[in-house]
Structure 1
Amino acid sequence: MTEMKSVGRLFQDERKLQHKTLEDIAKRTKIHVEFLSSIESDDFSALPQGPFVKGFIRTYALELGLDPEHVLAIYRRDFGVQPQQKLVPDGVLYPLKRSVWRWFSPKTLGALIVTCVAGVFLIFQLISLQRLPIVVVSSPSDNTSTKSPVFVKGRTDTDVVITINDAQISLNQDGEFQTSLELSTGDQTITVRAENRKGKSTIVRRSISVVQ
């Protein structure tokens, strides 16, 4: 009956057959002589635990020209170490992947892209419907004193109707506006109102004091 060699015996016999010492193996593999001796004695409790044991066995096997997977199989047989199992077997995972990706044909992907673009467009349209016009009045400043006529300058969106004290003012192509108002002496309020085509409006008021 053929003798079933252990990992240690297999390494030891092959090393001696190649006329190599433990020091020779240690020098080439960078594994301490003490660890190599423990492996050949099948005393794996003396080695660092975890993946180090399998790493030492694999390195030693390659150095001696042995099949590392065969040697590791002997190690698992003798010491009851189970090979690492996958969390999900391939037979379960791969059919799921195929069934999912089967729905993503070029036609389906095209329809999905069109739907996404349309959705983004609708969102922007809804935002624009709710957005109020922007109005910036650069002159006059609020709570200041000035003489008549009072020059009013500012800028707004290009697609709005702008009125100053209920009088419509024209805009240039950049949305800028300016006009002059003849106002009576005393405290006055200048009301600038911008209304877009969707009926949304923004009002900016300036309180000034007109002096002689």
Structure 2
Amino acid sequence: MLTVGEILIKARSEKKLSLEEIEKKIRIRKKFLIALEDNDWDRLPSLPYIKGFLKNYSSFLGLKSEEMIAIFRRQFTLKEKSDLLPSGVTKPLNEPFIRFTPQTIVFTVFVSFAIIFFSYLFMQYRTITNAPNLQIEKPLEGEIIYSENVTVSGKTDPDAVVSVNNQKIVLSETGEFSTNITLPPGINTIIIESTSKNSKKKSVTRNIQIQNNQ
């Protein structure tokens, strides 16, 4: 089906009339006639003016103005407040906010890989620059222990090296450790130190009291 503009152009060409001639005859400015033929409603005034221009122009060319108005209405969608929007420009309320096209899919995949890559670099950087994690479960700070044999246990990074009072101890695959040390009666200080493979250190000090059980 021909558009409003195509019908107008065809009728004007058959009558061999120029836009300048029609402008003088029906007193509609040339720029508005061009807009009608181009179906460019944004360059026209409000809806009543568009209908009036179209009716006069159609009648002058020997076209049935009522049929032209009907074609115009089918071609375009009218909003409640008489705003005019071309069909195809108006968006349904349930239209997805994002349209998935090959370009958007490629872009999404690229961004996802970039995020993963830079997250990995950030985690590696933190691993290199941060001291290892070190959690001590036993003994507690200020704890009174009624035995000279004291259990020291906790958890650190699996690839770290742990020492208790400068004595290295063995870690499990998950970074857990436990060892027994002998301390004399009285107040004692236990220093637990964890050293990462990049020589970053973290230490925890426990002050405990060894009391003879008499």
Give me the TM-score of the superposition, normalised by structure 1. 0.48
Give me the TM-score of the superposition, normalised by structure 2. 0.47
Which structure is higher in helix share?
A: 1
